A and B are shown apart, each in its own frame.
Chain A
Amino acid sequence: MQTVEKYHAIKVDIDKCMGCTHCMKACPTEAIRVARGVANINANRCVDCGNCLRVCPVDAFYVEEDSLEQLSKYKYKVLLFPAVFIGQFPESYSESSIYEAVLSLGFTHVLEVEQPIHLLIEIIKEQVLQAKNKPLISSFCPAIVRLIQSKYPSLVDNIIRMKAPHDLGAYYAIDLLSKEGIGREEIGIFYASPCSAKMAAVERPLGEEVSVVDGLINMYELYNKVRKVIKKAKKRDSVALRKGLRRDGIVWSLPRGEACHFKGRSMAVDGIHNVVKILERMENNEVPELDFLELRSCDQGCAGGILLTGNRFLTVERLQKRSKRYLIAESSDDHCFNCPAIKEKLKSGPIQPGYVYALDTNRKLALEKLQKVDRILCQLPGIDCGACGAPNCHALAEDMVQGKAKITDCVFLQNRYLNEEKIDLAKATRNLENTWGTNRFDADCNRKGGRNEGF
C-alpha cells in the first residue's frame, strides 16, 4: 500500500473553477470530485493524462512550470524539445528558423530529444528478446505507466525497463558538451514538455531517482514565445545540432513510432480510453501472443499532447513529411562521445504496483465495505448525474463507505427525505451548498458554462 501521496502535475485554479461536471465525467480514473463548488484531484489516482484540462470550459486546470529566469543560473543553457514541437508550425517556417527563434530566447544549445534513437531501439529489442512476460509494454507514456501501476498491477512486470526520450536527449546533450570540455555543473538542461504526464515524470521519476532534467518548460508557452520572435531572429547555422536526428526519432512519439520496429508481432493503441479496453483484455489473456505493445494516452500519440497547439492530424502529417528527409537510424550511428555509457544510463529499475483502488488493506474490512457499497447502491437511483459531486452513483457509494461522502449528497434521495420530512429545507440547502458552493444556485446571466458546452 502506498502511503506517500503521489506527485501530480495538474492543478486546479480555484478562482477560475466554477464547479461543473465536465472534468469529473472525463477522468478515466475517477480521480476528480467536486466539493464546495470546485474540482478536487485525488493525487493517488491522477495519472496526469490531461483529459480534464481538455474538457474544462473555463480553463481552470493548469500545469506548473519553471520560469525562463532560471536560465541565468547556468553558463550553458540547453533546451530539449520533442520533435512534435516542430510539427506544430506551418510549413512556411523552416526548421532552421524555428531553431534560431528558440536559441534567441536565451539558450546556448537546442536539441530534439529523440536522438540518438538507435539506443532506444536496441534496448527495446534486447529486452523483448529476453522477456519472460510478453508482450512487453512500452514505458514511453508516463500517463500509461501510472495507469498500469494503479489499475492493472498484474501487468507492471510487462513494462519495459527503459527511461524516456527526454532522458536520452539530456544524456546526449551532456555527452556532446563534455566533448568540448564543459562540465555537468555548468550545464542547465531545460525540457519543453508536450504534456502534464511528462512533467510529472520529470518532477518525480518512477524509479525514484532525481531526474537529469534541471528545468521544465510548458510547450504551449514556448510555442507562443517562438511565434512572437521567429521572423526577427538572426540567422545562425543550426544544422550541427540536428546531426544525430533520424527519421525514426522524428516519428517516435507518433502512433506506431515504436511499434513499427517489431513488424508483425506488435500492436499500437492510442487514446487512454482505448488503452483501458486493451489492458482489461490483456488481464483476461484475451490478447494474442505479441512481442511489443505500444500504448499512448493521447489520440495520435504526442501530436495530441495537451500542451500542443493546432490540429493533431496536421502535426502528424507534417512530421511524417519532415521525417522523409532524414536517414533511417542505424546501429552504427555514433554521434555520441560515449554511446555505451548513455545506453547504460537509460536502463531503469522495475515499476512497483500501486493498489490505489483497494477499499482497505485489511481483507475483512474491505469485504465489509464492498458489501456496504452493494447495499447503498440499492438506494441510489442509478442516474449517474454527478450532482452529488462524484462521477456516478457507484463512485458515490464507494466514497460513502470510505467516509468521504454521505447519502444526502444524492440530490434525489435528499428530495425523498424532504418529502418524508426526515430533513428540513435549511439542512438540504446546506448540503447542496457543501457540494456546489454558496450562491451557486442564484440566478446569474453572466455565469460561465451551461450554454451548449461540448458543442
Chain B
Amino acid sequence: MKLVFEIARGDFTAAGKASSGIKKVLKQLLVDPKTIKRIVVAVYEAEVNVVAHSVGGTLTANISGNEITVVVQDYGPGISDIEQAMKVGFSTASRKVREMGFGAGMGLPNIKKNTDELTIQSQPGKGTMLVFSISI
C-alpha cells in the first residue's frame, strides 16, 4: 500500500495532512495505538521540517504487513551538517517560524526516538532525503 503526499513550502496549516492520512489507514489495519502514535509523531515532524526549512517536497509511505517505510524527499536547500542538525535543541528556524510555535530543535531527535531505523541523506543546495521505518 502506497500513500503519497505533496508538501508545500511555508504552508504550516497543511502540515499534519500526511500524518492524519497515514493514521487513518493504520487504524484500519488494526495497528497498535502506541505504534500509531510513534509513526504519527515522526511523520508530523518530518512534514513540519519540509514546510519550515525547505522549498517543498513529497512524502511517500509504503505500508506492508509488518512495516511502514516513509520517504521524505525535498528539493533544497539541504542540511550541511547532519550531525549538528540531529542535536537536541539545535535549530536554524527564523524568528517568524519560532513565533508560530515551531523551531524548538526537537524535530529530528523526535523522529530518531520514535523510529526503528532512520537515514538522512542531504546535498547542500539540492535537497534532503529522510528515510525511516517502524515495524507495525
From A260-268, A282-290, A405-413, the one touching the partner chain is A282-290
In the bound complex, do residue A361 and residue B40 qualify as a contact, i.e. CB atoms below 8 Å apart? no
Q: Taking beta carbons and an 8 Å cutoff, which residues of A are in contact with B?
A: 1, 151, 153-154, 156, 280-281, 283-286, 353, 355, 357-361, 363-364, 366-367, 370-371, 374
Does B20 contact A363, Cβ atoms closer than 8 Å? Answer: no
B41: Cβ under 8 A from any A Cβ: yes
**Closest chain B residue, CB of each to CB of A285:** B41
Are B65 and A364 in contact, with the CB atoms below 8 A?
A: yes
Q: Mark B28-66, 1 if CB is under 8 A from A, else 0.
A: 111001101100110010000000000000000001111
A-B residue pairs in contact (CB < 8 Å), sample of 14: A284-B44, A285-B44, A286-B16, A355-B27, A357-B27, A357-B28, A358-B29, A360-B30, A363-B30, A363-B65, A367-B65, A370-B25, A370-B29, A371-B1
The 10 closest A-B pairs by CB, nearest first: A154-B33, A358-B30, A359-B28, A153-B33, A366-B29, A284-B44, A154-B37, A363-B65, A284-B19, A364-B65
- Inter-subunit contact A281/B30 (CB<8 Å): no
Chain A residue numbers with a CB within 8 Å of B65 are 363-364, 367
Nearest CB in chain A to that of B48: its residue: A286
Q: Across the interface, which residues of B come within 8 angstroms of A363, CB to CB?
A: 29-30, 65-66
Assess the A367–B44 pair: CB atoms within 8 A.
no
With A359-B29, A367-B65 given, is the CB distance from A154 to B36 under 8 Å? yes
Q: A151: which B residues are within 8 A, CB to CB?
A: 27
Residues on A with C-beta less than 8 A from B37 are 154, 283, 285
Using Cβ atoms and an 8 Å threshold, which residues of chain A touch B29? 358-359, 363, 366-367, 370
Tell me what chain B mostly uses at the interface: helix, strand, loop, or mixed.
helix
Q: Please, which residues of chain B bring their CB within 8 A of the CB of A156?
A: 33
CA distance A355 to B64 in the complex (A): 20
CB nearest neighbor in A for B66: A363
| C-alpha gap A284/B25 in the complex (Å) | 15
B36 to chain A, nearest CB (A): 6
Contact of B40 among A285, A358, A359 (CB under 8 A): A285
Shortest Cβ distance from residue A132 to the other chain B in the assembled complex, whole angstroms = 13
Contact B33 A286 (CB under 8 A): no
Complex Cα–Cα for A286 and B28 (A) = 22
B27–A370 touching, CB < 8 Å: no
A residues less than 8 Å from B20 (CB atoms): 280, 284
A362 to chain B, nearest CB (A): 9
Q: Are A361 and B16 in contact (CB under 8 A)?
A: no
A114 vs chain B, min Cβ distance (A): 33
Known: A284-B16, A284-B23. 17 other contacts (CB 8 A): A153-B27, A154-B33, A154-B37, A283-B23, A284-B40, A284-B41, A284-B44, A355-B27, A358-B28, A359-B28, A363-B29, A364-B65, A366-B30, A367-B1, A370-B1, A370-B28, A374-B1
* Cα(A283)–Cα(B40), bound, Å: 8
